[in-house]
Amino acid sequence: MKKCYLITGASSGIGYQISADLLAQGHVVVGVSRNVSDKVRQLENDYPDDFFFQEKDLSVDIDSLSKWVVKLSKEFGKFSGFIHSAGMQQILPLKVNTHKHMLEVFNLNLFAGLALAKGITDRRVKAESSVSVVFISSVASVMGAPGLINYSASKASINGAMRSMAIELAPLGVRVNSVLPGFVETEMMGKWSDVYTREYIDQNHSRCPLGIGGVDDISNMVLFLLSDKAKWITGAEFKVDGGFSLGDLR
Ligand SMILES: NC(=O)c1ccc[n+]([C@@H]2O[C@H](COP(=O)([O-])OP(=O)(O)OC[C@H]3O[C@@H](n4cnc5c(N)ncnc54)[C@H](OP(=O)(O)O)[C@@H]3O)[C@@H](O)[C@H]2O)c1
């Protein structure tokens, strides 16, 4: 059955792959990001009747996002799922950290996701059948690294919020889960190319029992969580990291 999904971060990396995979399965995708990338143009071209792109900065006017979801639903249909993949990384030592930096990360990674999820649970928005919400968290929510304080905190917060949401929303037929990716080569790494050098990536490749992952590895898990095969799964965190977080002691 054709279903309608709301996906943030659809212009690149993991969010793009999830969008492309859902469209290939015949679903409708409303994708959100700040910029119309070449990948967005390609999806618009390939799926003119099923892919609808919304250019929006999700870190601004966060309280208005829930009402915006109601508007989207009137235009495109009731949503069977919401995936919050938009996220920003920040590498910043504590000594130069400020409230402004903290808010920047939390606004997008956590607060925007919660506001959009609130919109999804509105009875005018929610599909009659069950609804699945998936937050793209990170293994950084359960592991540490210098400079990742705000990022790790924002991703750990999303896991905490996810658990309470799962209990609160179960009576409405809404399942809520987090996926915790490990190292996946996406545009995000390109944005931090001075940190994620080829040497650094190769080093992490060797620290990861199954090597560095691809966006399809994350998308496969998300598609499973959206499907009825996951109908008894809520409030769970899924590490999809090729074994990176096992912390091989050798
Ligand atoms: N790649 C990894 O190794 C990895 C590992 C663990 C977790 N993750 C998580 O996975 C998610 C996706 O990451 P990715 O690697 O796919 O990164 P990416 O390629 O950089 O994608 C990030 C997406 O978020 C959108 N975005 C950023 N700021 C936004 C804003 N203010 N408003 C709306 N959209 C915004 C970007 O589009 P615009 O720039 O056009 O707005 C882009 O579509 C993130 O939450 C990230 O933390 C990634």
Q: Please state, in angstroms and rounded to a whole number, the distance separating the CA atoms of residues 153 and 140.
A: 8
Give the binding-site residues of ligand 1, using a 6 Å CB cut-off: 8-9, 11-15, 33-35, 57-59, 85-89, 108, 136, 138, 181, 183-184, 186-188
pLDDT at 37: 96
**242, 213 contact by CB (below 8 A):** yes
End-to-end CA, the chain: 48
State residue 133's pLDDT score.
Answer: 98
Q: Which residues pair with 181 in a beta bridge?
A: 240
Task: Report yes or no on whether pTM surpasses 0.85.
Answer: yes
Phi and psi at 12, nearest 5°, equal -160, 170
CA 178 to ligand 1 center in whole angstroms: 15
Position 202 scores a pLDDT of 78
Which DSSP symbol is given to 72? H
Chain centroid, CA 123 distance in Å: 23
Domains annotated on the chain, with CATH:
4-242 (3.40.50.720)
Q: Which of 106, 188, 222 should be mutated for ligand 1, with most atoms under 8 A from CB?
A: 188
Spell out a b/e string for 70-85, using b for 16 or more CB atoms within 10 Å of the CB, else e.
Answer: eebbeebebbbbbbbb
Give residue 230's pLDDT: 98
Q: What is the CB neighbour count within 10 angstroms for residue 137?
A: 28
Three-class secondary structure of residue 217 per DSSP: helix
What pLDDT is attached to residue 241? Answer: 97
Q: Which protein residue's CA is at the shortest distance from atom 42 of ligand 1?
A: 9
Give me the tens of pLDDT residue by residue for the chain, a chain 250 residues long.
999 999 999 999 999 999 999 999 999 999 999 999 999 999 999 999 999 999 999 999 999 999 999 999 999 999 999 999 999 999 999 999 999 999 999 999 999 999 999 999 999 999 988 999 999 999 999 999 999 999 999 999 999 999 999 999 999 999 999 999 999 988 877 777 777 777 877 777 778 999 999 999 999 999 999 999 999 999 999 999 999 999 988 8
The alpha-helical segments, DSSP class H, found in the chain are 13-24, 38-46, 65-76, 99-106, 113-120, 149-169, 187-191, 198-207, 215-226
Angle, vertex CA 75, rays to CA 73 and CA 78, nearest 5? 30
